[in-house]
Amino acid sequence: MELNRPKAHAINADMVREMRQAFAELAGSDEVKGVILTSPGTIFSAGLDVVELYDYDEPQIEEFWKSFANLIRDMAAFPKPLVAAINGHAPAGGCVFSLCCDCRIMANGDGRIGLNEVPLGIVPPGPIIELARYAVGDTRAAEMLLHGALLLPHEAGNFGLVHAVVAAEQLMEAAEAKLGAWTELPQGPWRKAKALLRAPLLEAMDVDFSEAYGDTLAEWWSPDTRARLGAMVAKLAKK
């Protein structure tokens, strides 16, 4: 499954809707044993499409966050093996997508990955914090979120954010090998074990939307955040 939007596979409402539909179909298909999530080029996903989202009105941005919340819940609960083949930059929302996966393999190079919402003026919603905790533990999740650090592949590997770093030309081979090793195991026990392991995470993600995303939405419209996002949009528009 490829993320594929100009520019930089950034996340907008259409992408979220299409991904939710795709994951529902993949989960329900008897022919699909597992999924590799990746992108063409050298960017996995640049995160939220701030240029588009900046112009959403309040009902539109609330609907976007509701759909995004449902998508990452769907991905985290995906019953089959899900491997992220991270082919390059994966900040913010790109990192979130990878955190939903069972295994994260990143191409070596100058791509960076991490949760940098706070420096952008975005309050990380509770479910994203829970994904980070599940992946790297409380201490490292706090370090990543509060500093907003974006890590190079080898740094992400040492940090525990990705499971393996491989040469770019070997990325899909490594992802296919990992997926193949899992799908060769008895799938009933594998999927049950995954469900049991993820039960606490999914319970923590299953919170009232207003409680989980209220601060995110409120801060989105604060003058400081609007100014920061507006400056970012202006800069991106020149590229």
At residue 7, the pLDDT reads 83
Indicate if the pLDDT at residue 238 is higher than 80. Answer: no
Residues 142-192: tens digit of each pLDDT: 999 999 989 999 999 999 999 999 999 999 999 999 999 999 999 999 999
CA distances from 100 to 54, 113, 226 (A): 25, 14, 28
Q: Are 136 and 211 in contact (CB under 8 A)?
A: no
CA–CA gap between residue 172 and residue 143 (Å, rounded): 30
Q: Compute the distance between CA of residue 179 and CA of residue 36 in angstroms, rounded to an integer.
A: 8
Sequence-ordered list of residues with C-beta below 8 angstroms from that of 179, at least 6 positions apart, any chain: 34, 35, 36, 81, 83
What pLDDT does 201 receive?
A: 97
> Is residue 239 over pLDDT 80?
no
Q: Could you read off the pLDDT of 78-133 as tens digits, one per residue?
A: 999 999 999 999 999 999 999 999 999 999 999 999 999 998 889 999 999 999 99
- Domains in the chain (CATH in brackets) are 13-169+188-237 (3.90.226.10)
pTM listed for this prediction: 0.96
Residue 39, C-beta contacts closer than 8 angstroms, at least 6 positions apart: 2, 3, 4, 9, 45, 87, 88
pLDDT tens for 30-68 read 999 999 999 999 999 999 999 999 999 999 999 999 999
CA distance 156 to 176: 21
Return the H-helix or E-strand segment holding 58. helix 58-76
Task: Give the residue carrying structure tokens 């996340």.
Answer: 11
Per-residue model confidence (pLDDT) at position 237: 79
